[in-house]
Amino acid sequence: MKKGSKTLHAIPGLTLSALLLAAGGSTAAPARAESSIVPGNTMPGPLKAVHYDQRLGEQVPLDLPFRDDAGRPVKLGDYFGARPALLILAYYRCPMLCDMVMQAAESGLKPVSLTPGKDFEVIVASIDPTDTPERAAMKKRDILKRYARPGTEAGWHFLSGPKGSIDPLARAVGFQYVYDPKLDQFAHAAGIVLLTPEGKVSRYFFGIEYPPRDLRLGLIEASGNKIGSLVDQVLLYCFHYDPVIGRYSVITLRLVRVAGLATVIGLVLLVVILRRRETAQPRPLGAA
């Protein structure tokens, strides 16, 4: 990380803005041990190590070998030199979070006038060493079908590679994630990273929603090799660890239902209060 920058630790909270637990998958690289644990993080066990280190200005290793979605051997540096890149770290068998992040990126980019392959690159790199080019190709077809902008296929790259390539890339962008072999699950943060044409970290977007205006501005700044500033990481724990059954159970729908119920109750109370104030006001003289 460049001198003068620092890690901005995550703020626990129930908000629709960033951390989700991805269940499933196989042998992803574990996050670094105690030094990566967020102070004050009360989440159970390995989840304490899950977050993003914001390493603005950090150079990603361009010589890392991968395979693209067609099975061809490539290096990360093949996608840099002329244009900025949007980097997504995910895995292709993820049943929930990774799809949400990729679809959010696609939805955010769709209205943007900039064109993948011409103005910027989109790089999705799997964090699961067991992922294959076949899975990468399937995921690419799904995302491009949603994106629905013909002629941009060459700007989307879905990579798979060995642990020896995944680890250095994840470390360079500060992507801390944890694999639990007992539960066969791993947790990671939700977000995307913008890289300059030189392959340096320019900006982070956290959560599962990326406004098109912000993405466009971020890509334009990254294209000029501009390094952004630290942003807040607000965490959403949408999976809950149950120590009785030893599993993580989804509580997202429960939270949404509770929030919806609270909204309805609030509106009803507001109507009742307004009606009481109306009836309590003195009636004008001569009123029937």
At 264 the pLDDT is 78
Cα separation values, 94 from 10, 188, 238, Å: 23, 11, 15
Judge if pTM exceeds 0.85: no
Task: Kindly report the number of other CB atoms within 10 A of residue 93's CB atom.
Answer: 16
- What is each CA distance from 202 to 125, 222, 224, 229, in whole angstroms? 18, 6, 10, 8
Residue 30 confidence class, pLDDT cut points 50, 70, 90: very low
Q: Is residue 61 over pLDDT 50?
A: yes
68-103 pLDDT, tens digit each: 999 999 999 999 999 999 999 998 988 778 889 999
Distance of CA 75 to the CA centre of its chain: 23
CA 120 – CA 219 distance, rounded (Å): 7
pLDDT at 274: 81
Which pLDDT score is estimated for 281?
A: 65
**Residue 246, pLDDT above cutoff 80:** no
Contact between 193 and 87 under an 8 Å Cβ cutoff? The reply is yes
248: confidence class by pLDDT, cuts 50, 70, 90: very low
Instruction: Convert the pLDDT of each residue in 181-232 to its tens digit.
Output: 776 666 788 899 999 999 999 999 998 899 999 999 999 999 999 887 776 5
Whether the pLDDT of residue 237 is over 60: the answer is no
